[in-house]
Chain A
Amino acid sequence: MKGKIKISVKNRFISFNFTLERNVTILTGDSGTGKTKLINMVRDFSELGKSSGVTLKCDKPCLVLEGRNWEAELENTHESIIFVEESTPFLTSYDFARRIKNSDNYYVLVTREPLPQIPYSIDSIKQIRKKGKNPKIESIYKNVSVKDISDFPYELAIIEDSKTGFQFYAKASEGTDMECISSNGKSGIVDLLNRNKNKKVLIIADSAALGSEIRELMYFKEKSQNKTDFFLPESFEWLILRSDIFSGSTDIQEILENPVDYIECQEYFSWEQYFTILLVNSAKGKANLEYPKNKSQLPSGYLNESNIDKILNAMKIKKK
């Protein structure tokens, strides 16, 4: 399944209207905003249809996954929107994460738990904002990323990636006062922050899979005395594709404008995986730019001065 999915759920008292733009959406936030109400209305409609008194409009079937037989129900559910309520015991299990990978459904997971076993984007984390009978469902982490890091005005950069991304930023910051270290994955970032409490830090990570960490990182930024900034492109490969190195490819630019229309969730659990394959295929046959699928070694073509500038400036490019 791919593409945006619009959902409208309403009864006599309240109306929820929202659009899913990725395969995994996390619904979280304050108590008393209506998360359980929304789940109950979806459950009522999926069990009794219009006779429930709930009106639900969506191009795909919507249902609430719960109970002891969830694995069998999930096995037999396709091309659907699956809601899971908080405190559902299997929601935090690795078994659930394994089973939703490579499935052709979209998921709306109501929880405050970080779910590190599921790669989800910071853009997928939503909250309900109370607004009378028409509450709004909105992204929590909008505009948390800086757009320009080209002058590297930091003492330390913590790079989530340990391979091509780290190689790029280490090379790009050569000659500056900024030290580059890798956290060897997203879960190591908080540890490194705690060990470098008094420094001006830039965190560079893929927003496509940083969802489980962003709350802790934002907490650190808010509560610590030192300056912490985030540079969070969708992924390093997305940043390269968005740069002027590939600006001549109309196919790539069309995909980047609306990735959701191209990314089949059954094939790509996270958008980061899709952009890696897109870059591997797009760079095939290009001298010094052929990108390795295993991301082990960044080709030299991305490390010359001109292309470093193009990649660093890619977040600033305004698309249509």
Chain B
Amino acid sequence: MLKIFFGSHPDEIYNTEMYYSNQYDKNWVMEPFAQKIIADIDDSTVIAPDVIKNDIFGLFDSDNLSAGVKTLLLIYNKPKMIFNISNCGDNCAKYILEMAENRDITVCLHHLMDFGKDFSFKIINDRRRKVISDPMEYLSLANKYLRGKTNEG
């Protein structure tokens, strides 16, 4: 189940790019899931550990993947940590839901990500535990928690 906390969380990794640069494993990109998201989001092909190829940029290492892909790889490989998915575009949303199908993932969200029509997750601010799947309820909760006067993030 995907659990979303709107706004800043004390245990959140906010700058996922920086965290990735200092913590990534060269073999992460060899996983089929990693190869799938790298192909779809970054239009690139994994050649070998830490070697990725793109028609425009040629060969590059995994530190040059997009912020969205890096964040997805962090969630995939460190599922117990809380990462900021506002570093991910809407084109990452389906992969976040996919990763949460078989395990619990908690993330922070600082904007209204579009998860499409079919989704279910929990918003966990204020110890809420109800599963939501209605876009209007999601919008209402995002508006409530992201527009609070005390939350700048």
Contacts and interface: CB of A to CB of B under 8 A. Distances in A.
A11 to B, nearest CB: 10
15 contacts: A13-B56, A30-B41, A30-B68, A30-B90, A31-B42, A31-B92, A32-B41, A32-B69, A35-B67, A111-B86, A112-B110, A112-B111, A132-B56, A190-B143, A223-B135
Interface of B: 14-18, 41-43, 55-58, 66-69, 84, 86-92, 110-114, 117, 135-136, 139-140, 142-143, 146-147, 152-153
Contacts of A113: 86, 110-111, 153
A290 interface: no
Classify chain A's interface size: 35 or more
A187 interface: yes
B66 A116 contact: no
Contact of B66 (A32, A92, A197): A32
A32 B91 contact: yes
A93 B14 CA distance: 14
A114 B139 contact: no
Contacts, number: 101
B112 A32 contact: no
A296 interface: no
Nearest to A132: B56
B17 A190 contact: no
Interface stretch (A165-173, A213-221, A247-255, A277-285): A213-221
B89 A191 contact: no
Contact of B67 (A86, A190, A224): A86
B86 A112 contact: yes
A13 B57 CA distance: 6
A87 B15 contact: yes
A184 interface: no
Contacts of B57: 13-14
Contact of B139 (A32, A94, A220): A220
In order of increasing CB-CB distance, the 10 nearest A-B pairs are A31-B68, A30-B89, A223-B135, A31-B89, A87-B15, A32-B66, A32-B41, A30-B91, A32-B42, A112-B111
